[in-house]
């Protein structure tokens, strides 16, 4: 005969095993059969009751929905850009599905995520691994929001940030100019000179620069960033810039404006829709093709390894060196958060000395400095008086 407790019941089955039962807050009866230790059944009931009191109770069967099922729903969201959806689908297929497709979300543990991440790091590049981890965390975040699981098991510190093989570096203005000039001296690459200058001194993303049309080049040395382009799954996708703040107007230095004007005259047709930095055939420029040309120029100029994206770092760093505020950098670079803008504010060694000199100008001469400067004049005057005697 069942023995009734304050919460649920425990009874002994003919097999000698014990069964615990209770009615959940949804009105459904839950039960679980244990071995011959009655205490295990009571402990299970006590845990369920504690979850109810803490308002952390979850229906046990809800956690049986697989990670793959949540992934399908996540990738079908209407608010994902087509290029983003394609990226996520590739990350899921290549890096996540083999491990997590059929695993119930209720069975995903921090230890399991850590084991997967350690194994994946041996065969996956740092950027792809960080992207895959962020995607898994987002998918499981939906399960948390749906109250299927109590907490997100993706808790690895630093796993969402790729560990670069080397620190990013910003070029000096002279180095960027040298790269551009080297490209400009070769008939095969001269059409890329203005592109390097716009990337380095305007801070545009590569996809933003290569999506520019002649009509986006405005009077007064400005370019209007209204769209971006990416090559995804064998086709070009033209869409909005990466962030909401990506739509912006960027002012260029006078020398870059001059180089851009010459570029438009020599390499771009008169059509308002003509690509400013396209190929000779007038099509979009692929980042891989430009990357090869860029790397050869870097080697020829004698610079340490530099990635094309570091031209954007250069643009932000040089802008910061002029004294631009974080807010001004956010607007110029198309960032929505200060944290993103601060990534590109690399400190230059000489800037600290310049800051100290500027502070000295604000302070003005101190009493001690005035006293020290006046001392030689007083000593000369005293000597003249003594001599006249």
How far apart, in whole angstroms, are the C-alpha atoms of residue 99 and residue 91?
12
Catalytic residue among 21, 134, 309, 351: 309
Count CA atoms closer than 13 A to 150's CA, side-chain side.
11
How far apart, in whole angstroms, are the C-alpha atoms of residue 149 and residue 54?
14
- Is position 205 annotated as part of the catalytic site? yes
In angstroms, the first-to-last Cα distance of the chain is: 128
Return the closest-CA partner of residue 150 out of 110, 114, 117, 96.
110
Residue 34, beta-bridge partner list: 18
Environment class of 53 (CB within 10 Å of its CB; exposed 0-12, middle 13-18, buried 19+): exposed
Environment class of 233 (CB within 10 Å of its CB; exposed 0-12, middle 13-18, buried 19+): exposed
**Residue that is written with structure tokens 């971006």 in the block:** 228
Instruction: Output helix, strand, coil percentages for the chain, rounded to the nearest 5.
Output: 55, 10, 35
Catalytic residue among 137, 193, 230, 312: 312
Structure tokens at 312: 């954007």
Return the closest-CA partner of residue 45 out of 11, 22, 17.
22
How far apart, in whole angstroms, are the C-alpha atoms of residue 267 and residue 269?
7
- Is position 309 annotated as part of the catalytic site? yes
- Is position 344 annotated as part of the catalytic site? yes
How far apart, in whole angstroms, are the C-alpha atoms of residue 202 and residue 218?
14
Q: Are 171 and 311 in contact (CB under 8 A)?
A: yes
Catalytic residue among 137, 191, 193, 205: 205
Task: Give Cα separations from 389 to 69, 339, 384 (angstroms).
Answer: 106, 72, 9
**Strand 18-23 vs strand 9-12: parallel, antiparallel, or unpaired?**
antiparallel
Structure tokens at 372: 């020290």
Return the closest-CA partner of residue 178 out of 8, 297, 12, 274.
297
- Is position 389 annotated as part of the catalytic site? no
- Catalytic positions are 205, 309, 312, 335, 344
């Amino acid at each position: 005969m069942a023995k009734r407790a304050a919460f649920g019941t425990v009874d002994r089955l003919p097999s000698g095993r014990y069964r615990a039962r209770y009615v959940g807050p949804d009105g459904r009866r839950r039960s679980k059969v244990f071995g011959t230790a009655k205490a295990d059944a009571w402990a299970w009931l006590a845990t369920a009751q504690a979850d109810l009191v803490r308002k952390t109770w979850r229906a046990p069967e809800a956690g049986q929905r697989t990670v793959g099922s949540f992934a399908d729903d996540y990738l079908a969201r209407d608010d994902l850009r087509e290029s983003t959806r394609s990226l996520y689908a590739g990350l899921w297929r290549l890096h996540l599905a083999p491990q997590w497709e059929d695993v119930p979300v209720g069975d995903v543990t921090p230890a399991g995520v850590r084991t997967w991440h350690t194994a994946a790091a041996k065969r996956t590049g740092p950027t792809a691994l960080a992207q895959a981890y962020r995607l898994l965390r987002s998918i499981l975040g939906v399960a948390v929001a749906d109250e299927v699981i109590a907490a997100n098991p993706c808790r690895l510190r630093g796993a969402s940030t790729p560990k670069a093989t080397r620190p990013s570096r910003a070029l000096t203005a002279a180095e960027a100019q040298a790269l551009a000039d080297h490209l400009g001296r070769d008939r095969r690459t001269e059409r890329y000179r203005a592109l390097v200058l716009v990337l380095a001194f305007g801070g545009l993303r590569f996809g933003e620069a290569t999506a520019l049309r002649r009509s986006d080049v405005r009077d007064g040395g400005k370019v209007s960033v209204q769209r971006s382009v990416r090559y995804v799954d064998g086709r070009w996708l033209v869409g909005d810039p990466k962030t909401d703040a990506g739509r912006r107007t960027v002012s260029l230095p006078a020398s870059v404006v001059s180089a851009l004007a010459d570029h438009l005259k020599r390499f771009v047709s008169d059509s308002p829709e003509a690509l400013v930095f396209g190929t000779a055939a007038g099509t979009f420029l692929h980042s891989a093709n430009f990357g090869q040309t860029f790397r050869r120029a870097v080697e020829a100029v004698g610079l340490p390894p530099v990635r094309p994206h570091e031209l954007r770092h250069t643009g932000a760093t040089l802008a910061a060196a002029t004294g631009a505020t974080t807010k001004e950098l956010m607007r110029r670079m198309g960032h929505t958060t200060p944290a993103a803008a601060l990534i590109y504010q690399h400190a230059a060694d000489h800037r600290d000395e310049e800051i100290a000199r500027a502070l000295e100008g604000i302070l003005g001469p101190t009493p001690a400095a005035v006293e020290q400067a006046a001392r030689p004049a007083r000593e000369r005057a005293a000597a003249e008086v003594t001599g006249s005697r």
